[in-house]
Structures are given as C-alpha cells and as structure tokens.
Structure 1
Amino acid sequence: MLSYVLRRIGVSILILIAASLLMYVLVAWSKNPLDELYASSSPNKEQLILQRIQWLHLDQPVFLRWLNWLGGAARCVVPFAGCDLGVTIQNQDVQVLLARAVGSTLQLVTGATILAIVLGITIGIVSALRQYSAVDYTFTFASFFLYSLPSFLMGVLLKVFVAIGFNDWLVDPVFSWAVIIIFSIVAGLFWQAIIGGNRQRRLVVFVASLLVTGLLMYLMSVTEWFLNPSLGPILSPLLIVAFGAGMVLLIAGPTSRFAWRTGGATVIVLAAGYFALQPFLPSMDGSGIVLLFIVAIGVGLLAGWLLGEHDKGQAMRIGAFTGLLGMGVIILDQFMRNWNSYITNPRINGRPIATVGSATPNLQGDFWIQATDTFTHLLLPTVSLMLISFAGYTRYARGGMLEVLNQDYIRTARAKGLPERTVVVRHAFRNSLIPITTIVAADVGGLIGGAIITERIFAFSGMGALFNAGLTAGDPNPVMAYFVVVAVFAITFNFLADLAYSALDPRVRAN
C-alpha cells in the first residue's frame, strides 16, 4: 500500500507540473495585461507600464515566468520556506487573496456538497425501493428538471420566490386556509407514498399526515412562530428521542435489545443536557459549540461500548449518530431563540434572507447573531448549488441500488429470511455506494473551484470570482492560484475515492 501511495503522489506531481505549464501559457497568451494602460490617457502612463512590467516580470519569456512561478509555488509545501504565488496587476499579494477566496468558497460549497450527497443518496435509494411507483416518477421528474435548469435561472428564481417572497411574507406571517389545505393534502400524499403498504395503511398515513401538517401550520400562524421560533422544552426532548429511535431502527432493527439500551442511554443524557445547558448556551462561541458536539459523540460512543454486548461496533455507531443529531437539536433550538433578536436588528430591518454578499455590513451582535447572519447569506447560493448537484446523486444512487438489488447475493439474503431492512442497509446499500464514490470525488473538485455563475449572481467573492477576475485581465497569477487549489483538491479526492473502493468492496485491493 505504501508503494502504491508513493506512486500516486509522484504521478500526481508530474500531472500538476505539466498542467500548470499549459494553463500558464494559455492565460499569458490570451491577453496582454498592458492593453489597459496602452489605451490610457494618464500623464504617467509610461511609469505605470514600467511598474506593471516589473511586478509581473513581463520582460521575461513566458516559459521563464512560469519557472519563477513554479519555484515560488513549490515553496508553499515546504514549512517556513516562504510561499510566493506572485502578485496581481494591481500589485496585490495573490496568497492573501487566495486565502480569502478559499475560505469563502469552502463556506459556500461545504454545506451544498453535504446536503446534496445525503439528500441525493437518500432519495435515490427510496426511489429505487419504490421503483415505477408515483414516488419514483415524481423524484425522477424533479431530478431531471433540476439537472436541466440553468444555474443562473436557479439563482434568480431563489431570489424572487424565496428571499423576496419570504421577506415580504414575514410582515404578516399567517397561512391562509387555502394554503393550509393544499400543503396538508400534499404532505398526506407524499408520506403515504413513501411509507407504502396496503390500502388501509396508506389511508391511515394519509389522514394522520394531513391532520398533523394542518394543525402545525395553523398553530404556527396563530402564534406567529416564524417571528419568534423555538422548539421549546417539550419538542426538543421529543426530537432527541425520535432521532435515537430512528438510528436504532435504521442501523440495528426493532428487535435488538442492546441497541435500544444504547440509544436510550444516549437520549437520556442528551435530554438532561438540554435543560442543564440552557444557562450556558447564550454565552458560548464557536469553539464551545464544537466541544459540545465532541462530548455528545463521546457520550454515544461510551454508551455503545458499555452496553453493546456482542456487537459493540454497531452499538457505538448508534450512540455516535444519536449524540450528533441530539446535540444538533439543542444547538438548533438556541439558534431559533435568537432569531427574533436577529430580524429586529436595525441592520436587518425585518428582511433576514439576504440576496447578495456574504455578511451584513456593520452588524453588531454575539456569536449567535453573527452565525445566523452567515447562515442567511449562505442559504440561497448553497441551495442553488445543492439542487443542481443533488439531481446527479439521486440518479446514480437509484441506478446503483437497482443494479445491486438484482444481484444473486441479495436474492440469497432474502431467501434466508433476513428482514428487508437488513438486506437493504447491510447488503445492498454499501455496494451501491461504489459508483457514487467516483461522482463525489469529481464533484467536490468542481465545487471547490467555485461556481462562477452562482457566485456572480449572489455577489459572493470566492474562488470563481478570483479566477474570473484574473482571466478577464490576462493576469496569470490569480488564475494559477485558482488552478493549484482546484487541481490539488481534485487529485486528492480522486485518490481518496480509490482508497474508499477497497473499504467498500474487499475485492478491490492495491497490490
């Protein structure tokens, strides 16, 4: 394995060097960065031209300029060697600009990538298990529609109907009876199709979903919940219990006593922690929140280790996921409690969903206010990127699951009398992830590069904006900085995908 890793690293370095030469030469030949100054009528034009030639070393041949850039970029991987990615045509340090752009893009694409993968795989598997049903046709239509929708149109639609529409609606956040009835019927149809079963079971699910959705929407309207939301001391523990039960049913099944004990112990600790943490949460910052998640996962792992009996690994997974999701409920409740303070801030003025930028200028507030502001600015571009990527994951997950479900070992597992949950989760799901691993590796590299159109629509200064600015000006240094980050991420994730193949399929080994 070590020799395989070293070979891959060596080949990757050679590919990076060759590709960087090609990229540098193409950008350098695409446009003369002095054209702007040649057309200028400034009295010190000659001085500005000489200055830019000195900054960008334009008096040297392109190949020599690339070698100088390569030497500076190579020092970035050597500690304390002095990283040098050059300067822009405005004499700005590219390294500083790159750090800001990478941070902004990572903020933007991390949530979009995780949501697209989780939702896409989940919906794809559900669609495969309900093949040729109304659910399958609905998800298939939605996937193809979103996949074919241009990114600029997606951004405009989100701005008009989500941002502007929701902000206007918050003036009087009340659902009309027509909206309540329509949404309740849609929810009933959706859940009865997802859960399935005979006609009586579908009817019961439809009626229950219709009544619960209608009641919740009515209570939200009466209490003006969208202006002052909160899960509260009743709903928060119930959600923690629901997540714990869901993890047990999904991972171990309803008959596993040690799994129920592990989930129950973790739920009890987190439910008690919800009340114990209330006096301390308002004064916490980001590092404190991360610590709470680590502690919650640790509690779940400990519960699994102590109560897992013969299958401690499975019990620890149940405890860890229950701890993660349970702590997520506690933190979400605290964010919701600070929502009213955020939207009533004079800088927000009752219109919380932002359409441009990454932060509200001059907004004052604690960690919860600042984090909420970051969320409202990232919401629309994240959803835009997520919906486009989500469609691809859905189709690949559905196709992979259908292919696996038709294999002989799946029929054998069913013939042995294994529960359908065990067949799907333990046998089919893992093998269906193999083709998706390739898609994830390619998609992450592309998203890290920044969605140029999406960033432009939402005035988000990320990797895409850095690349676009450098290419427009004929400035190779910002473009090369963009190239290095994207290339490194693409090669790294493709390498991780190769390693993931061997973890998912023991037949795949690197000799």
Structure 2
Amino acid sequence: MTRYIFRRLAISFGVLLVGSFLMYVLTINSGDPLEDLRESTANNRDQLMQARTRTMGLDLPWYQRYFTWLRGAAGCFYGQCDLGTDRDGTDVLALLGQAAGATLRLVTIATFAAIVIGIFIGILTAIRQYSGFDYAVTFLSFLFFSLPVFWAAVLLKEYGAIRYNDWIADPHITVTVAVVIGLVLGFVLQGVLGGNVKRRLLTGGITAVFVVSALLYFTYVGWWRSPALGPVIVIIVALAFAVGLTAIFAGIGNKRVLYSTLTTVGVGSVVYFVIQGFFENPNWLAMLGLLLSAVVVGLVSGYFWGGYSRGQAMALSAITAVFTAGLTFVDRLVYAWAGFLEIKPRPISTIGASTPNFGGDFWETTLDWGSQLLLPSILLTLISIATYSRYTRSSMLETLNQDYVRTARSKGLSERTVITKHAFRNAMIPITTIVALDFAALISGAVITENVFGWKGMGAMFKSGLDHVDPNPVMAFFLVTGTAAVIMNLIADLVYASLDPRIRR
C-alpha cells in the first residue's frame, strides 16, 4: 500500500508539473500586460511601463520567468514558499492566504453539506425506486444541476437576502401563510416516509398541524427576533438523534450501542449546564478543544458499553457527541440573534465575505460570518446535491441487485441490515471518486459564485490575474486547486482500501 501511495504521488506531481507549464504559457500569451499603460496619456507613461516591466520580469525570457516561479513554488513544500508578486508589487503569497481562507471555507462547508444531504437523498430514492418521491427528486436534481449559477445567485440574493431582511424588520406570519407552509411540508414529509394511505395521511396531518401551530406561536411570542432553544429542546433533539442513529445503523435491539449513544447524550446534557459560564467569552481554539473532548467522551462511552459491537458503538457515540456539541453551539448562537439584529438590522448580506468594521462579540461575529456564508454555500450545495443524489441512487440500485444482497435477504436479515451493512458500504466506492473530483471542481466553480456575491476569494484573484495578464496570481490559484485535487484523490484511494479490503492487495 505504501509503494502504491508513493507511486500515485509521483504521478500526481508529474501531472501538476505539466499542468503548471501549460497554464503559465497560456496565461502569458493571453494578452498584453502593458496594454492599459500603452493607451495612457499620462506624462510618466514610459516610467510606469518600465516599472511594471521590472516588477513582472517582462524583460526576461518566458522560460526563465517560469522556472523562477517553479523554484519558488517548490519551496512551499519545505517551508520557503515564494510565489512572487503581482503586477502592483503585492506579495502573492499574502494575497493567497486571504483568498484561500475565504474560498476553502465556502467550498468545504458546501461540499460537506452536499455529501451528507445528497447521499441520504440518493439512498432514499434508490430504496423507493419509481415512487412519487423518486420522480420528484429526479426532477429537482436535474433542475438544480442545470441552473445557471449567476441566475440562481440573483434569485437567492433577492429572496434569501433582500426580502428576508425586509421581513425580519417586522416579522409576521399570517394564518393563511402558516397553513400553506404546513400543508406543503406535510405533503413533502409523507412523500419521503411513504407507507400506505392511512400512514401517509397521518404523517402529513400531524406534520401540518405541528408546523402551523409552531409558526403561529413563534409569531405571537416574537420568537423570530428573540429566538431561544433552551436545554429541554437541546436534550430532546439530541436524544432523538441518538435513538434514530442507533435504529438506522445498529438497530434498537442492540442495547449496548443504544446505551452507549444515550450515555453520550447524558454526559453532554450535564456539560451543557457546566460550560454556560465559559460561553460568555470563548474563542475558536477553546471551541475546538471542546469538540475534541466531546469526541473523546463518545469514544470512551462506546468502548465501555460496546462489548461485541465496540467498534460500531464507538463510531456512533462519537457522531452523537459531535451532534450534541454542535447543538449546544447552535443554542448559544440562537440566543445571540437578538443582539446581532441590533448591530446589523439587515442580517443577510448580498456582497462580501464579512461586514466591514463589525463590532460584535464572539457570538455576534460568528453570526455575521455565517450570514455572509449562507447564500453562496446554499448555491454551491444545491448544485452539488444533484450530482451526489444521482450517483448514489445509481450506485445503490446496482448494488441492491447483486447476488450477495439477495443472499443476505434470503438469510432472513432485516432490510436495515441489508442496506446499511451490505449495500451501502459497497455503493460508496464509486461515490468516493465523485467526492474527490468535486472538491477541486467546486473551487474552480466558485469563481462565478464569488464574483456574483462579491467575495474576495481565490476566484477574484484568478479573474484579476487573467484580466491583467499577470501569471503569478493565476499560478497561485492553480497551485492550490491542483494540490487539492492530488490530496483528495489520495484520500479517495485510502477510503477505497477501507471500504473494500481487497483493494489493499
């Protein structure tokens, strides 16, 4: 396996080298970097042209400029990174640090959300093939996949930002609107859960009544501007998640795994009250420490309760711990919403990755960060969900028709066991390839999204480099996306070996 990894790395670096050469040659031949100065009527035009020529090295042969860049880029792998300067003399490495932080933040969240939602929807549609739910998801998947990014971004800015900001100033939901929303959600949920006519009517009816009641209650108490979850809701939702996760992957009958996840929620419930004082003035490093502590608690709980299901108990308890920790974090964020609205009355921005001169505390700053991230993340997620759901559905259907799945069913195994332990694991092998490729593709696709939403990310840096025929920013973009593609493909290879032990040999 080690030899295989090193061989793949060597091939990947060769691909990066050839790709960098082609990218550099194409960029420097895409136009004239002195065009704007040639058309200038300034008295010091010649001096400006000479200064830019020296800064960009235009007086040197193209191959010498390329090898100078390549030598500096190679230093990034041993701590002496030098990506040169742009045409204005600004250090590209400094620009890349700011741009990559914004873009990778956007792409990572969108990719993770698309993977979770897309795979879940793909499995459901495969299980319920040719149902109304399957047809509806198929239609929406093709719709989202074919949406022009710039057009969808404009719609999101109009309805997700401008009109929402108008509404939140004086939030009110009428009875008619509440009933319509409740009926729509009830119809959607009964289609997802399926069953006979009686079960569908019961599911849809209960959902509609609950949603209508909740919307009207929230409007009456002014919850939209001063929301809160509280310990009761946090604990109930965490318990429901623990039971549901156990039921899906281990079965309620597996008491050891169930007790493990419930113990994790119990510890998280106690910690919820203990850390409230700490939440008054936290920082991200402390938050990361709390998250790692939650994972450790889940692993320890699974280890002691697991017994013959120790591995499964540890994994599910760790997931439950992360969910409970995240729910506690969201509870505190929701509590800070009222203060955030006082600082920023129009909370959802349409331009930029952050609000200039924002003066809130940790929680209010986090809300500002999240509100800026919301719309572009939704856009990239919707586009990727279509891909993941379609590939997952196709892969699951192919796996469910295999002989070993029919054998598992003939042995009397439950449908849950057949799907989660036999079909799902093998269906994920081709999906892993899509994930690896999609991450790098999303970074490239974020160029348009960042342009529409005014993000100063890698897309803006790439576009600026092309517009100015400035190779260094373009090559910095290539270096990050190319390296991301190499790393993600290497991770995919390791995941292959984990999903199918035969690949290790």
TM-score bucket of the superposed structures, by smaller chain: over 0.9
> Is 1:109 aligned to 2:104, yes or no?
no
Report the CA distance between 1:501 and its aligned residue: 1.6
The TM-score, its normalising length taken from structure 1, stands at 0.97
Letter in 2 for 1:427: H
Q: Which residue matches 2:43?
A: 43
Q: Distance in 1 between matches of 2:466 and 2:374?
A: 28
Aligned to 2:372: 377
Q: Look up the match of 2:178.
A: 180
Structure 1 gap segments, 5+ residues each: none
| Cα separation, 2, equivalents of 1:189 and 1:473 | 53
SS of equivalent to 1:33: coil
SS state at 1:508 partner: helix
CA displacement, residues 294-348 of structure 1 (integer Å, 9 cap, x when unaligned)? 1111111111111111111011112101111111111100000000000111xx1
Q: Does 1:52 align with 2:52?
A: yes
Contact kept, 8 Å, 1:445 with 1:489, in 2: the verdict is yes
Q: Deviations over 1:261-296 (max 9, x none)?
A: 112211111112222222221221111211111111
Matched to 2:471, the amino acid is P
Contact 1:105 1:448 in 2 (8 A): yes
Which aligned pairs between 1:239-254 and structure 2 lie closer than 5 A? Answer: 239-254=237-252
Contact 1:230–1:333 (CA under 8 A) maintained in structure 2: yes
Distance 1:414 1:107 in 2: 43
Task: Give the letter for the 1:23 counterpart.
Answer: M
SS, match of residue 46 in structure 2: helix
Report sequence identity in percent. 43
Supply the RMSD in Å over aligned alpha carbons: 1.3
**AA in 1 matched with 2:299:** L
Structure 1 residue corresponding to 2:407, chosen from 408, 412, 416:
412
Are the equivalent residues in 1 in contact too, given 2:182–2:207 (CA < 8 A)? yes
What SS is found at the alignment partner of 2:29?
helix
Letter in structure 2 aligned against 1:230? A
| Count of residues paired in the alignment | 505
Question: Which whole-Å CA distance do the structure 1 matches of 2:241 and 2:501 have between them?
Answer: 31
SS in 1 for 2:501: coil
Partner-residue secondary structure (3-state), 1:167: helix
Q: Which amino acid aligns with 2:223?
A: W
Rounded Cα–Cα distance in structure 1 between residues aligned with 2:466 and 2:319: 45
Displacement of 1:457: 0.7
Tell me, in whole angstroms, the C-alpha distance in 2 between the residues paired with 1:73 and 1:317: 40
Report how far residue 44 of structure 1 moved: 1.4
Unaligned runs of 5+ in 2: none
Q: Which runs of structure 2 are paired with 1:395-434 in the superposition (5 Å)?
A: 395-434=390-429
Match of 1:31 in 2: 31
Question: How far 1:507 sits from its partner (Å)?
Answer: 2.7
Q: Is the Cα contact below 8 Å between 2:257 and 2:309 reproduced in 1?
A: no
2:378 & 2:191 partners in 1: Cα distance? Answer: 25
Letter in 1 for 2:286: G
Equivalents in 2 of 1:74, 1:274: separation in Å?
Answer: 47
Question: Which residue pairs with 2:456 in the alignment?
Answer: 461
What TM-score do the two structures reach when normalised by structure 2? 0.98
Say which SS state the counterpart of residue 135 (structure 2) adopts. Answer: helix
The answer (yes or no) to whether the contact 2:243–2:252 under 8 Å persists in 1 is no
- Equivalent residue for 1:133, pick from 125, 131, 134: 131
The CA distance in 1 between the partners of 2:135 and 2:503, in whole Å, is: 34
Q: How many angstroms does 1:200 deviate by?
A: 2.2
1:157 corresponding residue in structure 2: 155
Match of 1:480 in 2: 475
Give matches, 1:95-494, under 5 Å: 95-345=93-343, 348=344, 350-449=345-444, 451-494=446-489
Deviations 1:347-372 (A, max 9, x none): x1x21011100111111121111111
Provide the residue aligned with 2:22 in structure 1. 22
Partners of 1:115 and 1:444 lie apart in 2 by 12
Residues 167 and 351 in structure 1, CA contact (< 8 A), matched pair in contact too = yes
For the pair 1:503 / 2:501, whether they are aligned, the reply is no
Q: Tell me how far 1:255 sits from its aligned partner.
A: 0.5
Deviation at 1:452, TM superposition (A): 1.4
What residue number does 1:78 align with? 78
- Distance in 2 between residues matched to 1:293 and 1:496, nearest whole Å: 23
Equivalents in 2 of 1:305, 1:497: separation in Å?
28
Give the distance between the partners of 1:32 and 1:195, measured in 2 at CA. Answer: 60
Contact 1:448 1:489 in 2 (8 A): no
Contact 1:450 1:462 in 2 (8 A): no
Q: CA deviation at 1:394?
A: 0.9
- Give the deviation of 1:509 after TM superposition: 3.4
Shift of 1:233: 2.5
Secondary structure of 1:488 counterpart: helix
